[in-house]
Amino acid sequence: MTKILLIILLSVFFSFTLTACWDGIELQNRAIVLMVGIDPGKEDGQEIKVSVQIARPQMFKNPVKAASQSENKKTIVISQTGVNAADALRKLQLSIDRTLFFGHVRAIVVNEQLAREGLLRILDPLLQARIVSRESWLFISTHSAKAILKDIPMLDPIPSTYLSNFFENNILLNRPYDATIGGFHQRLVSPGIQPYGIWLGESNESLSAPTIKGIAAFFGDQMVGGLQKDQAIGWEFVENQFPKSPLIFQCPHHKNRHIVVEINDSRTTIHFTDMRLDQPAIRVHVSIHGYIEGNTCTKNNIEDIRQELYIERIVSKQLARNIEASIQQTQTVLHADLFGFGRMFYWYAPQKWQGNSKWDQAYPHAKIHVQVKAYLEFLSTYRRDLL
C-alpha cells in the first residue's frame, strides 16, 4: 500500500514540473502561408505586389473534389502592393483578421521582370524578417506570380506541394538545395560561379499547373536569360545534377525512329588543360551508364556487338553536342558561368585567382572541350548464334 501511495505522489509531483504549450497559438488565430509570389506593382502606383497563398484548414478534412469548384479550394490567394515587400506584407496583415504565419512557406515565385532588376532587394528583407527560410524553393515566372499561386493542379490541390514534389521526388535535380533561396545565396557569394532559379513558363491547361521552362540564369543577382529544357539537360550533366530518367536520341538513318536510353548513372569530371587566366582551356568528360529496351534503330532485335558500339557512339556524340550548346549559350549569350568552371579554377590554383571580375571577362573566351562516353546495356535483344 505504501508503494502504491508513493507512486501516486511521485506522479502528481512530476506532473507539475512538465512544461505545457505556454506560447501556443490556436490554429483559428493563424493564417498559414504556403507560398509567396512577388510581381511588379507599378499599375497601382507602387513598386511591388506581394501575393500569399493561404491554407484553408477547414477544407483539408474534406475529400478532394473538382478543382474548378471555388468553394472546394483548399487555398486562397490575397495580394497587396507596397513600396517594398515589407510594406506590402504589413498591408496584407492589416487586411485579414488572422496572424500571418510563414513557418510553412515552401516556395517563393518572383516575376521575371523583377528578377531582371535584381533579387537581393526582394529576398534580403524577407530572409531578415524570417518570412521565408533558406530552404524555400526559388522560382522565376515568365508570367504573373500571382497566377502561379492561384493555379490548382489536378494532381495535387495544393500548388506549393505540387512544385515541391519536383525536388523532393528527385525529378529535376540530384542536389535540390542549389535551387533554394539558400543555394542561390551560396552560389552568389562563391567565387567563379553564378546562381540560378527554376524557370516557370505558361500554365499547362490539361494539368492546371505551371510548366517547367528550364533554368533561369543570373549574373550576380540579376537575371540575364535562361537555358531552355534541352539546354538545361546539358547543364545538368556537367553539374552532376541529372537524375535517373529516360533520354531520347535520334536514330541517324531513320528520322522517324528514336533511341530511348534509361539513364541509371552519370559522372562528370572537369580538368583545366591551360591555367592561363587570359585564355583558359577546359576538358569536360562525361560518362553515362544506362540501358536500352530493344533496338528501334534496326529492323530486328538481333544482338550485334558492332551495332551496339555504333549506337553507343551515336548517343555519346548527340549528348556531347547538347552539352556544347549549353556551354555556348552561357558563353556567347548569357556571359554567365552557370557551370562553376571558375570555381574549379579557384580550387585548383587559388594563387592564380584574380577575382570574379577577371574570370567574368575570361569565361566567354575559354576553350572548352567536351567528351562523352556512353556505357549501355541492351535488353530484349537476341544473340545471333542462338537463332
CA distance 203 to 146: 12
> Is there a single domain that holds both residue 289 and residue 323?
yes
Instruction: Confirm whether 196 is domain-assigned.
Output: yes
Flag whether pLDDT at 165 surpasses 50: yes
> Is there a single domain that holds both residue 210 and residue 269?
no
Q: Where does the pLDDT of residue 332 fall: very low under 50, low under 70, confident under 90, or very high at 90 and above?
A: very high
Select the more confidently predicted residue: 51 or 207: 51
Closest C-alpha among 146, 135, 204, 144 to residue 176 = 135
In the chain, what percentage of residues exceed pLDDT 90? Answer: 46
Q: Count structural domains, the chain.
A: 2
In the listed set 171, 202, 228, which residue is the last one of a domain according to the structure? Answer: 228
126-157 pLDDT, tens digit per residue, is: 888 778 888 899 999 998 999 888 887 777 77
> Is there a single domain that holds both residue 208 and residue 269?
no
Segment 271-286 shows an average pLDDT of: 92
**Do residues 242 and 174 lie in contact, with contact meaning Cβ atoms separated by under 8 Å?**
yes
> Is there a single domain that holds both residue 283 and residue 377?
yes
Give the pLDDT score at 222: 96
What the block records as the C-alpha cell of 140 is: 522565376
Strands 30-40 and 99-101 come out as parallel
Closest C-alpha among 137, 128, 125 to residue 36 = 137
Instruction: Confirm whether 269 is domain-assigned.
Output: yes
Whose grid coordinates read 506541394? Answer: 161
> Is there a single domain that holds both residue 205 and residue 277?
no
Instruction: Confirm whether 288 is domain-assigned.
Output: yes
> Is there a single domain that holds both residue 148 and residue 254?
no
pTM as predicted: 0.83
The 10 Å CB-count burial string (b at 16+, else e) for 10-47 is: eeeeeeeeeeeeeeeeeeeebbbbbbbbbbbbeeeebb
In the listed set 167, 195, 228, which residue is the last one of a domain according to the structure? Answer: 228
Closest C-alpha among 140, 151, 230 to residue 179 = 140
Residue 160 backbone class (left: φ over 0; alpha: ψ -120 to 50; beta: rest): alpha
Flag whether pLDDT at 239 surpasses 80: yes
SS3 42: helix
Q: Where does the pLDDT of residue 63 fall: very low under 50, low under 70, confident under 90, or very high at 90 and above?
A: low
CA distance 30 to 203: 30
Task: Note down the domain range covering 123.
Answer: 26-228
Residue 138 phi/psi, 5-degree rounding, is: -110, 120
**Do residues 56 and 30 lie in contact, with contact meaning Cβ atoms separated by under 8 Å?**
no
**Do residues 209 and 155 lie in contact, with contact meaning Cβ atoms separated by under 8 Å?**
yes
CA distance 228 to 160: 23
C-alpha torsion 376→381→384→387, nearest 10: 170
> Is there a single domain that holds both residue 274 and residue 172?
no
Compute the mean pLDDT over every residue in the chain, rounded to the nearest whole number: 84
> Is there a single domain that holds both residue 223 and residue 267?
no
Instruction: Confirm whether 20 is domain-assigned.
Output: no
> Is there a single domain that holds both residue 197 and residue 293?
no
**Do residues 37 and 149 lie in contact, with contact meaning Cβ atoms separated by under 8 Å?**
yes
What the block records as the C-alpha cell of 20 is: 505545457
User: What is the helix (H) or strand (E) element at residue 49, kind and residue range?
Assistant: strand 48-55
Select the more confidently predicted residue: 269 or 42: 269
> Is there a single domain that holds both residue 171 and residue 275?
no
CA distance 174 to 105: 22
> Is there a single domain that holds both residue 200 and residue 327?
no
Residues shown for the chain: 387
SS3 155: coil
Q: Where does the pLDDT of residue 39 fall: very low under 50, low under 70, confident under 90, or very high at 90 and above?
A: very high
Closest C-alpha among 149, 111, 102 to residue 129 = 102
Segment 9-31 shows an average pLDDT of: 64
Query: Which range has the worst mean pLDDT, 18-22, 235-239, 350-354?
Result: 18-22
Query: Which range has the worst mean pLDDT, 21-30, 51-60, 147-156, 167-176?
Result: 21-30
Query: Which range has the worst mean pLDDT, 11-25, 161-175, 216-230, 260-274?
Result: 11-25
Instruction: Confirm whether 235 is domain-assigned.
Output: no
CA distance 32 to 102: 6
CATH of the domain at 249: 3.30.300.210
CA distance 192 to 22: 48
Rg (CA), the chain: 26
Closest C-alpha among 271, 237, 219 to residue 115 = 219
Select the more confidently predicted residue: 21 or 17: 17
